[in-house]
Structure 1
Amino acid sequence: MKPGFFLGLFLLIALNVSAQSDSTVYQPNKVNQFKLVPLPAVGSNPANGWLFGLAPSATWYMGDPRTTKMSNFVGNFLYTTKKQWIFSSRSNIFLNENKTILIGDWRYFITSQPTYGLGSSTPNEPTENPSEPGTWWGEQQMDFRLIRFYEAILKRIGDSKFYLGAGYHLDIHSKIKNFQDDEITGQLEFAHDRYNVDMGFDVNKYTVSGISFNMVMENRDNSVSPYEKNFGWVQYKINPSFLGSDQSSSLLLLDYRHYVNLSERRKRNLIALWGFGNFVVSGKVPYMNLPGIGWDMFGRSGRAYAQGRFRGESMVYSEAEWRFPLQKNKETFGGTVFVNAASFSSKTTEERLFEKFNPGYGLGLRVMINKQNRTTISADYGFGQKGNSGFYLNVNESF
């Protein structure tokens, strides 16, 4: 019932917003041509349950649109049936003539989500971890608060598609509480607490604060809904204790996306490919800061699984999606079919990367509510292993 109910609301809202935006006149020389979509948010996903609130998105130009890429912002102001508050702002801003890119990810969560232990082999149902006797393995509930401030500035190298820059990154997890349902008995230690104690971190609060060095290749024709070309991002993040981190560490992020047109006449008919890796390179990282599924910038990885369903010291993720129009001569409605897979490593369970994969697959519906800027409302249903599945309602394409 839930997916059908939300899909109906999705179509009603999207069609209404689309009808309001069809009359927009394109003015190619107008700087700061601002388009705001104050979209009501009604959706569902495995980590949050039902969500209600606002999910505004905005697109605009910081220079002449003929020489400047479109900037975009996506926000969330949500309350969920699991008594969570989610406030977030994610943005990609291109200054005049694409000379500078600003990448922002700001969040404040009063939230909860289950955690399952580390590695790709964790089961759904809670049980004792055979690799760590006395520790829970499988679903364990967790309440926490998160303050996140990520901001990076990158400068263009000459007239190329490449950018270099630096950023600051702050994560503060606090008021962390692990618990199990009343029906479950046993004096086992929670995976989060066991890991943090072994690594020398507090189990109730921890901070990761650091700087990053970034290289970006921005070659997409449109960042919110690309039809062609590619995008690459290499980020090396250093979290020294003198900047406020509980312990020093470093992480490497690799992100590459490629878009292959299947039709010159209908560029919306394409194959989208995504490869993503996140690795702890040195030092020790608190449990919730370890690479995890669904914790990429826009939270789009791992459709079919709840956010945080898999976690480990190293993560590799890949996805392929066929995107296609559903109308012969119009661009309003589109569809997608996708497959993905992730692999995680864990030193604590001695599980190696690529030893096991967690696949997912699904299909989705798209409604383009602003055809000039390609702003799109997306609804997807994903299926994973061992009964994992989820319905996802978002603004813009998944990647």
Structure 2
Amino acid sequence: MKKLLIFIVLFSYTQFTHAQDTVRYEPNKINNFRIVPLPAIGSNPANGWLFGVAPSATWRMGDPKTTHLSNLVGNFLYTTKRQWIFSSRSNVFLNEDKWILVGDWRYFITSQPTFGLGSSTPNEIMENPNQPGVYWGEQQMDFSWVRFYETILKRLGDSKFYLGVGYHLDIFSKVDNFVGEEIPAEFEFIHDAYNQSKGFDLEKYTISGITLNAVMENRDVAVSPYEKSFALISFKINPSFLGSDQSSSTLLLDYRHYFPLNPKRKRHLIGIWGLGNFLVSGQLPYMGLPSIGYDMFGRSGRGYAQGRFRGESMVYSEVEYRFPLQRTKDTFGGTVFVNAASFSNRDFNESLFNQLNPGYGIGLRVMINKENRTTITADYGFGQKGNSGFYLNINESF
């Protein structure tokens, strides 16, 4: 495994270096377009080891002085937990950053453990003291997931602020619950008990609607910022006439700020990340509720598996210290991080901040392209109650 990882890093480095031929800027054209069909290897607690292809593309739609670098990352992966993962996620900055197009497309045939709602759910299976006959703790779920999110944002004058609208669609199907041990005859799965109580189907459900978005984009490079900040307010409306099983609305808040500690070595910095996701009205099906690790790139909650915590409302924060490991070069770097999350469970009167779920860890960074800061990241995170995980990805966590 170590030899394979070393080969992939070296292959990626040579491919990106070869792609860095100087290209002169031409107005109204796609400039300096680069695509690299990277072999992919990754790891996280929810998927195990992932293998496949992760094509990555970068380009500019305008003058580099006034136009951010656009990027697209695809994944065609198979995991050691017998999951198939196909995705495409993109941030496209049009000429002079006048418009931004944000896309998140996915098709997963996957599985994931679920533990129940709120911040106080146990690891081991036990009867819920507030709901006789319903058991919480680790329960495995198989499901298929189709996602189509596309957002268009218009810049306000010469500012860093954007307003825009988007369409979002999530379809969960073939949902199947199981546990790998003997269970009581009266056992009822958490997912099924919740969906039945809210009037949703147990095997398939859809969330479809529009988003109203306000963005401040002030980062120097979106995939690996050294300075400045990013903010997002996204209000989602999921009406039944657009295909949602039930009408609902949610509010997503996302803020990130980066503080350089050395003006001569901007890779030496502190990054902070705050994330809030709230059910405002109506009802969402179980898998549509706010959950750890369900941000666009699945990077929140290092120290826990994706989906370990879930609830009607979620608040998450993280602080990360990033630093170079070489005196004059930026190829190798390191990081230490701490995070914390809190979730609500309205059915049992568990409010936000009744309990916090902290995590912490360390990481290694290998920058394989200095111009657009494409970086291989390897992190080990620790959570409460024996939760931990290894995370191998492309680009910084936030």
TM-score bucket (shorter structure):
over 0.9
Report the more deviating stretch, 42-51 or 368-377: 42-51
Whichever residue aligns with residue 10 of structure 1, its letter is L
Whichever residue aligns with residue 29 of structure 1, its letter is Y
CA contact (8 A) 1:26 1:372 kept: no
Whichever residue aligns with residue 194 of structure 1, its letter is A
Aligned to 2:391: 392
> Which secondary structure does the structure 1 equivalent of 2:346 belong to?
coil
CA contact (8 A) 1:28 1:64 kept: no
Whichever residue aligns with residue 25 of structure 2, its letter is N
Aligned to 1:29: 25
The two structures have a TM-score, normalised by structure 1, of 0.96
Whichever residue aligns with residue 343 of structure 2, its letter is F
Aligned to 2:363: 364
Q: C-alpha deviations, 1:194-218, integer Å up to 9, x for none?
A: 1111101001110110000000000
Report the more deviating stretch, 55-64 or 348-357: 55-64
Shift of 1:378: 0.7
Alpha-carbon distance between aligned partners in 1 of 2:179 and 2:14, rounded to the nearest angstrom: 47
**Unaligned runs of at least 5 residues, structure 1:** none
Aligned CA distance change for structure 1 residues 340 and 312 (closer, same or farther; 3 Å): same
Does the alignment pair 1:50 with 2:45? no
Aligned to 2:320: 321
Which of 7, 11, 18 in structure 1 is aligned with 2:13? 18
Alpha-carbon distance between aligned partners in 2 of 1:26 and 1:97, rounded to the nearest angstrom: 21
Shift of 1:28: 5.7
Q: Highest relative contact order (Cα 8 Å, sep 6+), 1 or 2?
A: 1
Q: C-alpha deviations, 1:112-150, integer Å up to 9, x for none?
A: 101000000001111111121111111011110111000
Does the alignment pair 1:68 with 2:64? no
CA contact (8 A) 1:74 1:395 kept: no
Aligned to 1:103: 102
Whichever residue aligns with residue 22 of structure 1, its letter is T
Alpha-carbon distance between aligned partners in 1 of 2:190 and 2:213, rounded to the nearest angstrom: 33
Whichever residue aligns with residue 352 of structure 1, its letter is S
Shift of 1:275: 0.2
The two structures have a TM-score, normalised by structure 2, of 0.96
> Which secondary structure does the structure 1 equivalent of 2:114 belong to?
coil
Shift of 1:15: 3.0
Q: C-alpha deviations, 1:147-194, integer Å up to 9, x for none?
A: 100000000000000000000000110111111113444421111111
Alpha-carbon distance between aligned partners in 2 of 1:333 and 1:21, rounded to the nearest angstrom: 16
Task: Calculate percent identity across the aligned residue pairs.
Answer: 71
Alpha-carbon distance between aligned partners in 2 of 1:16 and 1:325, rounded to the nearest angstrom: 22
CA contact (8 A) 1:253 1:277 kept: yes
Whichever residue aligns with residue 393 of structure 1, its letter is L
Shift of 1:34: 1.6
CA contact (8 A) 1:291 1:313 kept: yes
Within-5 A mapping of 1:1-399: 5=1, 9-22=4-17, 24-27=20-23, 29=25, 31-399=30-398
Alpha-carbon distance between aligned partners in 2 of 1:341 and 1:364, rounded to the nearest angstrom: 17
Q: C-alpha deviations, 1:247-288, integer Å up to 9, x for none?
A: 000000000000000000000000010000000000000000
Report the more deviating stretch, 335-344 or 12-21: 12-21
> What is the root-mean-square deviation of aligned Cα atoms in Å?
1.3
Whichever residue aligns with residue 259 of structure 1, its letter is Y
CA contact (8 A) 1:137 1:191 kept: yes
Alpha-carbon distance between aligned partners in 2 of 1:272 and 1:11, rounded to the nearest angstrom: 28
**Unaligned runs of at least 5 residues, structure 2:** none
Alpha-carbon distance between aligned partners in 2 of 1:180 and 1:250, rounded to the nearest angstrom: 32
CA contact (8 A) 1:118 1:312 kept: yes
Aligned CA distance change for structure 1 residues 184 and 64 (closer, same or farther; 3 Å): same
Aligned residues: 394
Whichever residue aligns with residue 357 of structure 1, its letter is L
CA contact (8 A) 1:39 1:54 kept: yes
Shift of 1:59: 1.4
CA contact (8 A) 1:28 1:66 kept: no
CA contact (8 A) 2:25 2:31 kept: no
Alpha-carbon distance between aligned partners in 2 of 1:234 and 1:170, rounded to the nearest angstrom: 18
